[in-house]
Amino acid sequence: MSFATRRVGNTSLNVTTLGLGGATLAGNIEPVADIAARLIVADAYDAGIRYFDTSPFYGYGRSEHLMGDELRGRKDWVLSTKVGRVLSPRKHPQDARDKWRNPFPFEPRFDYSYDGVMRSYEDSLQRLGLDRIDIIYVHDLDVWSHGGSKETQQKYFRTAMESGYKALDQLRSSGDIKGIGLGVNDAQPIGEALQHGKWDTFLLAGRYTLLEQGPVHDVLPAVQKHGASIVIGGPFNSGILVGGTTFDYDTAPAAVVARVKRIEKVCAAHGVPMPAAALQFPLGHDVVASIIPGPRSAGELNQIMEWWRVQIPASLWSDLKNEGALDKDAPTPK
């Protein structure tokens, strides 16, 4: 299958418009066997996908290890990983509330400093078993990831902007990496970061989807003016847009369920599977470079490919807007 590519900001990188997110490879919420995770990566590459995203946080090194195993020896891929946490050998029992199933025997701690970024980068190269990383995102600088505390989030944000950024800029200037940005679950830190440096791309999970388009009014135009790109993670809002019951990894509230039903009704009237519309919608905006869903099996990856191939009529998007189920200012795929 042939995928279109889009340029990442003002870098020399071009990524396929469909990429592969690596969180699910590590078995978040549901366990995934190593052989199954490797098969997902191999199948994605064989299908024509060339953009792959991972993080030290995903399974505490497991996702990086498995993804690197499959990319090693292959050509023409673009890889992003993340900084903001460093891993140390586990000294405490895994928390029963921890979402990772069968993670590596490490435990993370936040470190957004210059030294923390450099150590994380070097450790990631070792775990991946690769000789390069193309893009590094500063991971989870949002309030949601720091216990809902704005004070804690701002403390880490200042460290990342004043200290960690220097390490990222140095790695980029030396040519060790080609792009830098943030990987977050909330659009607000992206808008704030634009005032603190020159960025190439941002990974925004779950906040610009068929279900919610708030960033179209402020953050996306600001990113575009900055000359950077957006990568969309979590295009299915953690399951609610593929017929599941979860939103932001928790039970979906009634208002969200009602909105999804309105979207689903319009999609059904056009004979379009709602997940297909959800997968393709964000690419209507020129600032979006890639969509990176996270399949948990080769079967789920195949299903994503089928949704990707669905031809969606322009009337679907206009009807969603007429029904108030899609922001009127949101650009839609041509």
Burial of 200 (0-12, 13-18, 19+ CB in 10 A): buried
pLDDT bracket for residue 30 (50, 70, 90): confident
Taking the model in full, what pTM does it have?
Answer: 0.97
Query: Has residue 187 got a pLDDT over 80?
Result: yes
Give the CA dihedral 6, 333, 185, 256, nearest 10 degrees. Answer: -170
In the predicted model, what is the mean pLDDT of residues 139-151? Answer: 96
Identify whether 82 is a catalytic site residue: yes
- Of 230, 251, 236, 256, nearest to 300 by C-alpha is 236
Q: Which two tokens stand for residue 49?
A: 């996908």
Active site residue 58: yes
Measured distance between the N- and C-terminal CA atoms of the chain, rounded to whole angstroms: 20
Tokens of 289: 């470079």
* Annotated catalytic residue, options 43, 45, 51, 82: 82
- Amino acid 76: pLDDT: 97
Report how far Cα 218 is from the mean position of its chain's Cα atoms.
Answer: 20
Q: Mean pLDDT across the stretch 136-150? A: 96
CA distances from 328 to 104, 278, 318, 319, 322 (A): 45, 16, 9, 11, 8
Altogether, the residues listed in the chain come to a count of 334
Residue 276 reports pLDDT greater than 90 = yes
Say if residue 89's pLDDT is above 80: yes
- Per-residue pLDDT tens over the stretch 238-260: 999 999 999 988 899 999 999 99
- pLDDT band at residue 29, thresholds of 50, 70 and 90? confident
Q: Are 189 and 218 in contact (CB under 8 A)?
A: no
Q: What is residue 28's predicted lDDT score, i.e. its pLDDT?
A: 84
User: Cα separation of 257 and 254, whole Å?
Assistant: 5
| Residue found by looking up tokens 């699910």 in the block | 24
Q: Is the pLDDT of residue 275 over 80?
A: yes
Q: What percent of the chain has pLDDT over 70?
A: 100
Is residue 216 within 8 A of residue 174, CB to CB? The reply is no
- Tell which phi-psi region holds residue 238, choosing left (phi > 0), alpha (psi between -120 and 50) or beta: left
Catalytic pick among 45, 51, 58, 137: 58
Catalytic one of 45, 51, 53, 156: 53
Residue ranges and CATH numbers for the domains of the chain are 5-322 (3.20.20.100)
At 234, is the secondary structure helix, strand, or coil?
coil
DSSP string, 254-319: HHHHHHHHHHHHHHHHTT--HHHHHHHGGGGSTTEEEEE---SSHHHHHHHHHHHH----HHHHHH
Instruction: State pLDDT tens for residues 205-233.
Output: 999 999 999 999 999 999 999 999 999 99
In 84-178, which ranges are E strands? 85-89, 106-110, 135-139
Each residue's pLDDT tens digit, 312-325: 999 999 999 999 99
